[in-house]
């Protein structure tokens, strides 16, 4: 289906809060018109659309320069050398003019209304650290699609850190980075996208920001997330040792004074559980919260069933179904969940 023309449309500019949209790109030239176009096809535009190209070797720059020439709201940054997606997003955030920032991958897209909803929610709840909605996940290999976030509250609302934890324990908490607008100061306080955390930098930032400032939730589908073999999401899907090292790094962060304030929300214990599963050992009893933990569609396991939890979680992590394993690990770290049982 062809995207409708944008040239003659009239848009309303955002005044307060000021949101900068950021798109990291590496060799995704074929997706750029769709991704950037989804930001332009909004009833309320962001203050700017920054596309940071991470030294692509395809014709991404040619595509981006053409888009920027047609739409002055588009800014193009180019890394002289490949820096990686996290460092690229941090560079763009440092140069962003907005007080709020949104990050969407070059192979994903947002739906109309993202900036309207975020503006309304942040105006009503200025204390919030982020605002997120529901996301439709689409698997390009199988053609299947489903919603992430459908088990979140049915009304637009502000969630305190304690309310986020309560949803997490029920397997209902979901923060979809493709449509999440962050308060820039809160995200930078959390270290931005920490390069050492690689694939887990997004949900660690979500936890650090959300458990400090709370979050706004919008019960509408605001983005499309495409799962395909070449996506960053699936990078090194079978690199279990590297993932164990990254989780060890997360534990080091959580043990530091810098993140001591978010430890009481259960993140530390859940990371220790996932780390233990990846390490092939039984987690310490102190890692399992009193009252147990509910992992998505899995069993609720208490302190008296530590080995059952380890076996079940490790099986998910080490299975060939990496998508499901990643979701389980994400929830075990208090950041993912809320996946709808029914497909779209």
* CA 108 – CA 151 distance, rounded (Å): 22
* CA 258 – CA 176 distance, rounded (Å): 25
* CA 290 – CA 111 distance, rounded (Å): 40
* CA 178 – CA 164 distance, rounded (Å): 19
Report the DSSP pairing between strands 19-25 and 48-53: parallel
Structure confidence by residue, pLDDT tens digits, 253-273:
888 899 989 887 766 556 665
Which domains, and CATH codes, for the chain? 17-110 (3.90.550.10), 240-337 (no CATH)
Structure confidence by residue, pLDDT tens digits, 141-198:
888 899 999 999 999 999 999 999 899 888 889 999 999 999 999 999 999 999 999 8
Three-class SS of residue 223?
Answer: strand
End-to-end CA distance of the chain: 19
* CA 341 – CA 297 distance, rounded (Å): 9
* CA 254 – CA 273 distance, rounded (Å): 14
> What does pTM read for this prediction?
0.79
Residues whose CB is less than 8 angstroms from the CB of residue 204 and which lie 6 or more positions away in sequence, other chains included: 190, 194, 197, 250, 253, 333, 335
Low-confidence ranges of the chain (pLDDT < 50): 1-14, 282-337, 339, 341-343
**Helix 322-332 with 267-279: angle, nearest 10 deg:** 140
């Amino acid at each position: 289906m062809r995207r409708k023309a944008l040239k003659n449309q009239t848009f309303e500019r955002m005044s307060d809060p000021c949101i900068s949209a950021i798109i990291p790109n590496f060799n995704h030239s074929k997706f750029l018109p769709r991704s950037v176009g989804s930001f332009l096809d909004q009833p309320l535009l962001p203050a700017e659309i920054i596309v940071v190209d991470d030294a692509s070797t395809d014709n991404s720059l040619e595509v981006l320069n053409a888009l920027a020439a047609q739409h002055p709201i588009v800014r193009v940054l180019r890394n002289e050398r490949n820096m990686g997606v996290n460092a690229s997003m941090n560079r763009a955030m440092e140069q962003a003019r907005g007080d709020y920032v949104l990050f969407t991958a070059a192979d994903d897209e947002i739906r109309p209304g993202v900036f309207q909803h975020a503006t309304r929610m942040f105006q009503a709840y200025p204390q919030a650290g982020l605002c997120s909605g529901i996301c439709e996940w689409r698997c390009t290999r199988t053609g299947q699609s489903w919603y992430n976030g459908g088990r979140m509250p049915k009304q637009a609302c502000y969630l305190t850190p304690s309310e986020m934890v309560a949803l997490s324990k029920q397997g209902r908490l979901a923060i979809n980075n493709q449509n999440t607008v962050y308060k820039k100061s809160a995200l930078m306080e959390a270290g931005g996208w920490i390069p050492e955390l690689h694939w887990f930098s997004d949900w660690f930032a979500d936890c650090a920001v959300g458990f400090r400032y709370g979050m706004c939730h919008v019960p509408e589908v605001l983005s499309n997330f495409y799962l395909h073999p070449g996506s960053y999401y699936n990078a090194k899907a079978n690199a279990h040792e590297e993932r164990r090292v990254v989780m060890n790094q997360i534990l080091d962060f959580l043990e530091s004074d810098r993140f001591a304030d978010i430890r009481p929300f259960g993140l530390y214990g859940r990371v220790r559980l996932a780390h233990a599963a990846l390490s092939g050992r039984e987690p310490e009893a102190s890692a399992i919260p009193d009252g147990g933990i509910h992992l998505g569609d899995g069993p609720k396991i208490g302190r008296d069933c530590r080995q059952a939890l380890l076996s079940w979680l490790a099986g998910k992590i080490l299975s060939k179904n990496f998508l499901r394993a990643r979701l389980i690990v994400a929830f075990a770290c208090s950041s993912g969940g809320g996946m709808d049982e029914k497909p779209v």
